[in-house]
Amino acid sequence: MEQMGRVLERAKMVVGMEVDEEANEGADSSFFDDFNRHCTLSTKQRLYGFAVCLCVGLACTLLSMLVFFNPVKFGITFTFGNLCALGSTAFLIGPKRQVVMMLDPVRIYASAIYLASLIIALFCAFYVHNKALTLLAVILEFAALVWYSLSYIPFARSMVSKAFVACFDTEF
């Protein structure tokens, strides 16, 4: 029976599923391990959480277009929408795996620029109250979001980079 449990754990690791954490009771547990252990959701609850967060994020992003000519309000609603949309994926894969994937060497720079642009946009909107800086931060945020999203599609970044180089190449 014990051997069957080990085979099942190996199969879960190969497929990419999380191995049960109760087997490692003696190991040091991090914040995310404790959080994942105490916040277990069913598949249906995860899908509902994902759908609600994604819909709220998309609604805020789309509603931000209504206040486009007021860059401070636009920056706040657009950034809040992006935060909700980013948080929605934590319902599907869990917060620990979300952070691990964001810190993956392939997307660490895109994640850092994306999170920094979120903070800069909110800072410019709340404290600086400068419309030009807020709009610039939102543009940077959108570009970082696109670059971050492309990191999940194999070869998408290299394809987009080559397309931009081809478009802006001045040699004939």
Tell me the mean pLDDT in the region 91-96.
Answer: 84
Q: Where are the domains of the chain?
A: 38-150
pLDDT at res. 89 = 85
In this prediction, residue 15 carries a pLDDT of: 47
* φ and ψ at residue 8, rounded to 5 degrees: -65, -40
**Nearest-angstrom CA–CA distance, 77 and 56:** 11
- Mean pLDDT on 57-62: 92
Residue 63: the pLDDT is: 92
**Which tens digits make up the pLDDT trace of 24-50?**
444 456 766 666 666 677 888 888 999
Q: What is the CA radius of gyration of the chain?
A: 20
pLDDT of amino acid 26: 44
pTM for this prediction: 0.68
168 or 4, which is more confident: 168
